[in-house]
Structure 1
Amino acid sequence: MMQDQNDGLWEKAIRRLVPLGLEAWNERRLLDGKLTLTPDLNGGDVERLIKWIDACLADDGGQVAARDRAVTLAREFKALNRDGRARFLMLLAEQYAVDEARVERAMEQWRAAGSEGRMQAALALRDALEPPRMTLLTRFNGVPEGVKFLVDLRAELLSLRKEYPQLAPLEADLKRLLGAWFDVGLLQLEQISWQSSAELLEKLIAYEAVHAIRGWNDLKNRLRADRRCFAFFHPNMPNEPLIFVEVALVEGMAGSIQALLDEEAPVLDARQADTAIFYSISNAQAGLAGISFGNFLIKRVVKLLRQELPQLKQFATLSPIPGFRRWLEGLSDDVLAGLPGGAVWRDTGSAGALLDPERLDPLRAEALRRLMAWYLCREQRRGRYALDPVAHFHLSNGAQVARLNWVADLSEKGRRQSAGMMVNYRYELPRIEARSQSYTVDGAVATSASMKKLLKA
Structure 2
Amino acid sequence: MLDELKSAARKVNGARHLRGLLIDCKRLLSERGEANSVAIASDLIARFRELPDDAQASFFERLSRDFSPDPKAVLQSAQAYAEAPSAANLQRLTQTAEPPRQELLRRINRTPGGTGSIVAMRRALLARMPKQPELQAVEADFLHLLSSWFNPGFLQLRRVDWNSPAQLLEQIIRHEAVHQIDGWDDLRRRLQPDRRCFAFFHPQLPDEPLIFVEVALLPAMPAAVAPLIDKTSAPLPAGQFKVAAFYSISNCQPGLKGVSLGNFLIKRVADELQRELPQLKTFCTLSPIPGFARWVRAGAPCEGLPKARAQRLAEAHATLRDACAGDFDKLLHASALKALPEPAAQALLRLAAYYLGCHAPSAGGDPVARFHLDNGARLERLNPLGDLSPKGLRQSFGMMVNYLYDLDKVETHHEKFVQGEVAQSRLLTSLL
* TM over 0.5, shorter chain: yes
Which residue in 2 is equivalent to 1:52?
Answer: 24
Contact 2:383 2:401 in 1 (8 A): yes
Contact 1:192 1:229 in 2 (8 A): yes
Which residue in 2 is equivalent to 1:454?
Answer: 431
Aligned pair in 2 of structure 1 residues 48, 237: CA closer, same or farther (>3 Å)? Answer: closer
Q: Choose 355-364 or 310-319, whichever is displaced more.
A: 355-364
Tell me by how many angstroms 1:152 deviates.
Answer: 1.8
Aligned pair in 2 of structure 1 residues 148, 318: CA closer, same or farther (>3 Å)? Answer: same
Counterpart among 190, 208, 219 of residue 240 in structure 1: 208
Tell me by how many angstroms 1:331 deviates.
Answer: 2.1
2:76 paired with 1:101: no
Tell me by how many angstroms 1:40 deviates.
Answer: 7.6
Tell me by how many angstroms 1:46 deviates.
Answer: 4.2
Deviations 1:276-305 (A, max 9, x none): 110011111111111114743222111221
Tell me by how many angstroms 1:308 deviates.
Answer: 1.8
Tell me by how many angstroms 1:38 deviates.
Answer: 6.0
Aligned partner letter, 2:317:
G
Which residue in 2 is equivalent to 1:344?
Answer: 319
Matching of residues 227-376 of structure 1 within 5 Å: 227-293=195-261, 295-331=263-299, 339=313, 341-349=316-324, 350-356=327-333, 357-376=337-356
Distance 2:46 2:10 in 1: 13
Tell me by how many angstroms 1:408 deviates.
Answer: 1.0
Aligned pair in 2 of structure 1 residues 206, 39: CA closer, same or farther (>3 Å)? Answer: farther
Aligned pair in 2 of structure 1 residues 119, 333: CA closer, same or farther (>3 Å)? Answer: closer
Deviations 1:108-139 (A, max 9, x none): 222344x6xx2222211111111111111111
Contact 1:39 1:80 in 2 (8 A): no
Listed as ranges, the gaps of 5+ residues in structure 1 are 1-36
Distance 1:40 1:258 in 2: 54
Aligned pair in 2 of structure 1 residues 296, 62: CA closer, same or farther (>3 Å)? Answer: closer
Aligned pair in 2 of structure 1 residues 271, 84: CA closer, same or farther (>3 Å)? Answer: farther
CA root-mean-square deviation: 2.2
Which residue in 2 is equivalent to 1:390?
Answer: 368
Which residue in 2 is equivalent to 1:164?
Answer: 132
Tell me by how many angstroms 1:363 deviates.
Answer: 1.9
| SS of equivalent to 1:363 | helix
Percent of paired sites with the same residue = 43
| SS of equivalent to 1:168 | helix
Distance 1:162 1:61 in 2: 34
Counterpart among 417, 421, 429 of residue 399 in structure 2: 421
| SS of equivalent to 1:281 | strand
Aligned pair in 2 of structure 1 residues 38, 331: CA closer, same or farther (>3 Å)? Answer: same
Tell me by how many angstroms 1:47 deviates.
Answer: 3.9
Contact 2:201 2:209 in 1 (8 A): yes
Deviations 1:121-166 (A, max 9, x none): 2211111111111111111111112111111222221111001111
TM-score of the superposed pair, with normalisation by structure 1: 0.85
Contact 1:404 1:421 in 2 (8 A): yes
Tell me by how many angstroms 1:386 deviates.
Answer: 7.2
Q: Choose 144-153 or 389-398, whichever is displaced more.
A: 144-153
| SS of equivalent to 1:265 | coil
Contact 2:24 2:43 in 1 (8 A): no
Contact 1:40 1:80 in 2 (8 A): no
2:61 paired with 1:84: no
Tell me by how many angstroms 1:41 deviates.
Answer: 6.3
Deviations 1:12-32 (A, max 9, x none): xxxxxxxxxxxxxxxxxxxxx
Tell me by how many angstroms 1:57 deviates.
Answer: 0.8
Deviations 1:220-249 (A, max 9, x none): 111112111111111121111111110001
Which residue in 1 is equivalent to 2:177?
Answer: 209
Aligned pair in 2 of structure 1 residues 313, 138: CA closer, same or farther (>3 Å)? Answer: same
| SS of equivalent to 1:240 | coil
Distance 1:364 1:108 in 2: 64
Contact 1:294 1:396 in 2 (8 A): no
Distance 1:410 1:426 in 2: 22
| SS of equivalent to 1:430 | coil
Counterpart among 381, 386, 396 of residue 408 in structure 1: 386
Which residue in 2 is equivalent to 1:20?
Answer: none
Aligned pair in 2 of structure 1 residues 45, 217: CA closer, same or farther (>3 Å)? Answer: closer
Which residue in 1 is equivalent to 2:6?
Answer: none
Distance 2:403 2:93 in 1: 46
Which residue in 1 is equivalent to 2:5?
Answer: none
Contact 1:41 1:87 in 2 (8 A): no
Tell me by how many angstroms 1:43 deviates.
Answer: 4.0
Deviations 1:51-94 (A, max 9, x none): 32111111326522x32111111111112222222221111122
Distance 1:330 1:369 in 2: 17
Which residue in 1 is equivalent to 2:307?
Answer: none
Distance 2:264 2:391 in 1: 29
Contact 2:24 2:41 in 1 (8 A): no
Which residue in 1 is equivalent to 2:421?
Answer: 444
Deviations 1:402-447 (A, max 9, x none): 111111111111111011111000011111111112212x122111
TM-score of the superposed pair, with normalisation by structure 2: 0.90
Aligned pair in 2 of structure 1 residues 185, 143: CA closer, same or farther (>3 Å)? Answer: same
Distance 1:143 1:40 in 2: 29
Tell me by how many angstroms 1:167 deviates.
Answer: 1.3
Alignment size in residue pairs: 412
Tell me by how many angstroms 1:199 deviates.
Answer: 0.4
Tell me by how many angstroms 1:337 deviates.
Answer: 6.3
| SS of equivalent to 1:249 | strand
Which residue in 2 is equivalent to 1:110?
Answer: 81
